[in-house]
Structure 1
Amino acid sequence: MFVERLHALTSFRLAVVSRDATVQDAALPLSRPGVGLVLVCDATGSLEGVISKSDLIRHLSSPTHASPPASALMSKSVITCGPKDDVRDVWQTMAARSLQNVPVINEAAKPLGILDIRDAMKVLFEEEELQERMLFNYVSGVGYR
């Protein structure tokens, strides 16, 4: 299954701010249920980095009281996926790197959504259940349904 089949879920989680947005602007989308990552984009709308809840907490717990722009808090090294990527492959990368969320971007690095690891796991589990039912029916002599 391709990531694009999860577009309804990934687009729901999409949260984008500009590189010069305030910390408060970046924190606001993170307060929404299901949103764990904010994408920081340049003036053309291309992905430059991400801000996670952990990045925000790290900033708020530091002794400095300055309010830097979002670009100062963002992680610039970002693991991304595309709509044509296989969900299983993306999930394996997420699991290996302990990532909860991965931005979904197009060929021009424009954000399309954010894949949450729970959504990927749910889809993979449903695929395994379907294959198990099909195998059981085949072995039982029922055939495919």
Structure 2
Amino acid sequence: MLIEKLHPLTSSRLAVIDFDATVQVAALSLSRPGIGLVVVCNAGGGAEGVLSKSDLVRHLTGPMSSTPSVAHLMSRSIISCSPQDDVHDVWQTMTARSLQNLPVIDAGARPLGILDIRDAMEALFKQEEMQERILMNYVTGVGYR
């Protein structure tokens, strides 16, 4: 199954903020239900980095000398997936790197959504259930449905 099949879920989780946004703007975006990661974009709409709730908490619990822009707090190396990637492969990447959320980014570096690991697991589980039903029908002689 491809990531693009999960587009209704991933697009609903997408939160984008400007490269020069304040920490307060990032906190407002991250406070929305279901949002665990925001994509920081340049003026052209291309992804420049990501900011998670953990990044924000680290900043707020550290020594507060100034209020930097999001550009100073974000992770610049973006681990992402494309709509054409396989859900199982992306899930493996997420578990190997202990990521809860992963941006879905197109070939032009534009964010399309955020994949939550629970959504990936649910999709994989449904796929396994379907394969099990097909196999059971085959073994019992029912045929394919």
Q: Same fold (TM over 0.5)?
A: yes
* Distance in 1 of aligned mates of 2:65 and 2:58: 12
CA shift, 1:65, in A, is 4.2
Q: Report matched runs for 1:108-127 at 5 Å.
A: 108-127=108-127
* 2:141 match: 141
State the Cα RMSD in Å. Answer: 0.7
Q: Which segments of 5 or more consecutive residues in structure 1 lack a partner in the other structure?
A: none
Percentage identity across aligned positions?
A: 67
* 2:56 match: 56
TM-score when normalising by structure 2: 0.98
* 1:67 match: 67
* Distance in 2 of aligned mates of 1:113 and 1:65: 33
* 1:86 match: 86
* Distance in 2 of aligned mates of 1:107 and 1:142: 44
* Distance in 2 of aligned mates of 1:28 and 1:6: 25
CA shift, 1:29, in A, is 1.4
Hey, which bits of structure 1, 4+ residues long, moved more than 3 A?
none
**What SS does structure 1 have at the residue aligned with 2:24?**
helix
Per-residue CA distance 1:68-122 (angstroms, 9 max, x = gap): 0000010011111111111111111001111111100111100000011000000
Matched residue count: 145
